[in-house]
Structure 1
């Protein structure tokens, strides 16, 4: 898509984190399996319309939460959303807080990440077709603006901007690690938004994260007083707030057809492919088709 491209109808992809396994209020709702060249996504995708806007919802861990963060097929999840026609993705994620001013129940509209994961496939590209996308600004500011406006309108406790430290897990941090991340000026910590954000950029999807604080990470002197029951209670309340946020922001994003992303998210691959055409692996190109077919001129596949 270039700057002269016609305006398109937005299709809003929604990724639900811990505690958020369905989206209520959808009309014409239908759970459908979506196949990808990267394997199976976490679950079937829920297709429907919210206030007339086309939406596609994916529970990140699957309904009932059977899949831990390190075992998630992030490539299949993003490829499935792209194959389903999504033009933008809003990710909703449960996190711990690294700041006193971000208490349980608070939302952070993240604008930066630090990726500390090490056991995950992080790219659609590799031997046979090399690409390097820019991650300097890893989330779409246009989506962030809409999320901030929707949160303010609902009176939700929300902060615009913050750094999300993505750890491997499944164990939580040691106190030394927690203090280290605080010294790096990170704001929240979780286990799921990388490589999700990187893959969304490779798939030329506008992407934004709403980090929903469930508790303080173990740096906090009162952390040991927090019980599982309290965390679950906050998780449930956050899920209700997240559903309200989705109901508010989707009509804003889908109010009218839109043109190219001002930030260039939908054109991220235009200067990223470095492998010469004659050296590109046809088998990999076939897998890349659904996520990168725009730049290769293909159709149907990954």
Structure 2
């Protein structure tokens, strides 16, 4: 058994967590660069928690510029065991309406301008992301949302686009009709892949703000409408997070889905061929398997 520590990565509109005791903003150094911001640490209902604003306070990082590797590495260094990603998104489904939440269980990664792995030349590793989120953690988020009175959809496919522009109508229709995506956003990739490499349980809570541009009755995405809905979603998101400590429990058993053992057979480079400089940078992410 280890102690549960929840790490919340807050997206657009969610820049704080209510009710944290002993709250303190902490600067965490990472060999992968500076995280998006300092990390707010404290205890929520007795459970250790860390909150990282993905875009930085004041929204200073565009989706392509978010330091994803530094963010995940910093949370791992703090002792986080379970990561809850909260982000704004558009919907491709009539029944997934603005104001609803979707607990995502699949991704289509269309990003192309971001570093997507901690590993590479000098230490090659391949992890499986066939099931990129943790079912145990996702189920807790669904239960928390329902207890909070939030309309939540259990499962959905998130199309991660590069941005920062929103989709064209042709893209939106393709993602919806041909590819079968349910929601669209700009920030969950490579975040989910990096969390898997860091052996962290990861759940994605997508807060719907709009219907992207496919919907015949809603037209193009309007940033003013997004901000209005975003404000309400952020309040609901904080309520969801407040319920998680009671649902997850302080004593954390090994993940039944193996998220915390994702690197068990992933390293491919022979020990005598591994780059010492890269290994040093991997001390937090892969220390368990690197010894």
The TM-score range, normalised by the shorter chain, is over 0.9
Tell me by how many angstroms 1:250 deviates. Answer: 2.6
What does residue 131 of structure 2 align with? 137
What does residue 182 of structure 2 align with? 187
Task: Please state whether the residue corresponding to 1:223 is helix, strand or coil.
Answer: coil
Match of 1:288 among 278, 282, 289: 282
What does residue 241 of structure 1 align with? 236
The within-5 A match list for 1:1-302 is 7-183=1-177, 184-224=179-219, 227-253=222-248, 255-297=249-291
TM-score by length of 1: 0.94
Tell me by how many angstroms 1:148 deviates. Answer: 1.1
The C-alpha deviation readout for 1:92-145, integer Å capped at 9, x for no partner, is: 010000111111000000000000000000000000000000000000000011
Cα contact 1:50–1:251 (8 A) shared by 2: no
Cα contact 1:43–1:59 (8 A) shared by 2: yes
The C-alpha deviation readout for 1:162-219, integer Å capped at 9, x for no partner, is: 0000000011111111011012110000000000000000000000000000011100
- CA spacing shift, 1:197–1:175, aligned 2, 3 Å: same
Tell me by how many angstroms 1:251 deviates. Answer: 2.4
TM-score by length of 2: 0.98
Cα distance in 2 for residues equivalent to 1:161 and 1:80: 28
Cα contact 1:105–1:214 (8 A) shared by 2: yes
Consecutive unaligned residues in structure 2, runs of 5 or more: none
Tell me by how many angstroms 1:226 deviates. Answer: 6.2
How many residue pairs end up in the alignment? 290
RMSD: 1.0
Consecutive unaligned residues in structure 1, runs of 5 or more: 1-6, 298-302
Cα contact 1:41–1:73 (8 A) shared by 2: yes
Tell me by how many angstroms 1:256 deviates. Answer: 3.4
Tell me by how many angstroms 1:230 deviates. Answer: 2.2
Cα distance in 1 for residues equivalent to 2:201 and 2:221: 36
Cα distance in 2 for residues equivalent to 1:34 and 1:86: 13
Task: Please state whether the residue corresponding to 1:290 is helix, strand or coil.
Answer: coil
Cα contact 2:3–2:250 (8 A) shared by 1: yes
Cα distance in 2 for residues equivalent to 1:171 and 1:79: 28
Cα distance in 2 for residues equivalent to 1:168 and 1:193: 10
